[in-house]
Chain A
């Protein structure tokens, strides 16, 4: 899903946050919010949470658990 929406981004990167621009960050937030029906906001946008696909997955899992 993210691969299709962000064709220029190397999603396997260990430095994902540095690969993204503001539109990329927003795209990720919107897609994950919609797909997993979770609420993501600006406080979730930290270099740590967006470091890699694994850290993103962990963020989503935390949000689902908090629902």
Chain B
């Protein structure tokens, strides 16, 4: 069965149950099915089966209707960042249209590669169901749960939560980020027995800092909170458990390539930072001699689109070889210790510094540059761009940031800028990233 088959089943079993709420709009399972059917009819007339179709992941019902309708029209959905520059959207759409996908492909999810260029991760319908079943078994999603999604729907963190909710006939409440706290907390006024949500550690930090009282008011209603995608500090974990003592708090290991792998309820009295628990039913993991995490099971990607070389580098013998350094304790729990590659994690968004540098080099007057990670009180890590200019003068930082905005998604644009004499390089001319990691 596909996720759409489950929606169809729920439209038959619970036609009047609310499936999705977003702002002032909502739709029942019956309406959701009808809207998907209508949209699928339009899309079938427009695109041949097997076509990859890009769409902007706006946080609304229309996006999800189109997403599911593409599946029903036998196309692959490629949801992109909602604010991706138009030129990048067009370029990726053209690239995607030229590719064919393996049978059973549902989505192409764009993710930051370790080598600088974004890659299209091929996700099958089987993967979607395995992710959903892992989440249901691992965290206890249920029919009477209302799940509040506040993150970008083109990322696995939020998109993957749509599946178990709609599979079980629960209610999905979409909120546009955390910018308007009233809207976020207002979502929990919906008449539901219990709630759950996914928050990246940076969002938890924001809520703990600016509205701990309002968070505490959710204590009787919040069934569980899931976090992941970035490291969370021990003090934030403990503070969250104190505010919501009866809520299960899951720290999950997942990535676009591996799918949802394992989770750990840190509201267990021990509250172990960096622990990501045991593998879920469809998954298994091990650690290599070099200390790197290897994942297996039904949630893995099929491969990178049109990129057999990079696929072979990470997907071997049916296992994903990650760049995450990990350890498994005596109880079979996974602990993450760091990353082996140069990717910078900005509040759960993975950024390849090379991609930022390539974009910055096209700004007039910039001779060389390096994108480094600096500490941030909210996102853990933030991006800083150090530049070498032809005339040694400071460029217009605002103009540079705006230039980057025409080429990159917003989360890839550095918040900090600085001038430097030269970029440190290794003997073979590559940027000496270790130097910058050690010296900041």
List chain A positions with a Cβ less than 8 A from chain B: 3-8, 17, 20-27, 29-30, 40-43, 45-47
Contact of B179 among A6, A25, A30 (CB under 8 A): A25
Contact of A26 among B210, B214, B397, B400 (CB under 8 A): B210
The reply to whether A42 and B181 contact each other, CB–CB distance below 8 Å, is: yes
Given contacts A21-B179, A22-B177, contact A8 B378 (CB under 8 A): no
The reply to whether B379 and A23 contact each other, CB–CB distance below 8 Å, is: yes
Given contacts A22-B178, A45-B181, contact A7 B211 (CB under 8 A): no
Given contacts A8-B413, A23-B378, contact A47 B210 (CB under 8 A): no
CA distance A21 to B405 in the complex (A): 14
Q: Which 9 A-B pairs have the closest CB atoms?
A: A42-B211, A7-B401, A42-B181, A22-B178, A22-B179, A22-B177, A42-B210, A26-B206, A7-B398
The reply to whether B378 and A21 contact each other, CB–CB distance below 8 Å, is: no
Question: How far is the CB of A50 from the nearest CB of chain B, in Å?
Answer: 9
Question: How far is the CB of A60 from the nearest CB of chain B, in Å?
Answer: 16
The reply to whether A41 and B211 contact each other, CB–CB distance below 8 Å, is: yes
Q: How many residues of B contact A (CB 8 A)?
A: 28
Contacts of A5 in B (CB 8 A): 415
The reply to whether A8 and B177 contact each other, CB–CB distance below 8 Å, is: no
The chain A residue sitting closest to B215, CB to CB, is A42
Given contacts A26-B378, A40-B210, contact A46 B182 (CB under 8 A): yes
CA distance A5 to B185 in the complex (A): 27
Contacts of A7 in B (CB 8 A): 397-398, 400-402, 413, 415, 417
The chain B residue sitting closest to A18, CB to CB, is B179
CA distance A5 to B379 in the complex (A): 14
Question: How far is the CB of A1 from the nearest CB of chain B, in Å?
Answer: 13
Question: How far is the CB of B157 from the nearest CB of chain A, in Å?
Answer: 15
Contact of A8 among B179, B211, B405 (CB under 8 A): B405
CA distance A5 to B180 in the complex (A): 20
The reply to whether B401 and A30 contact each other, CB–CB distance below 8 Å, is: no
Does B377 sit within 8 A of A, measured CB to CB? yes
Contact of A20 among B179, B202, B378 (CB under 8 A): B179
Contact of A21 among B397, B400, B401, B410 (CB under 8 A): B410
Question: How far is the CB of B155 from the nearest CB of chain A, in Å?
Answer: 15
Contacts of A30 in B (CB 8 A): 209, 377-378
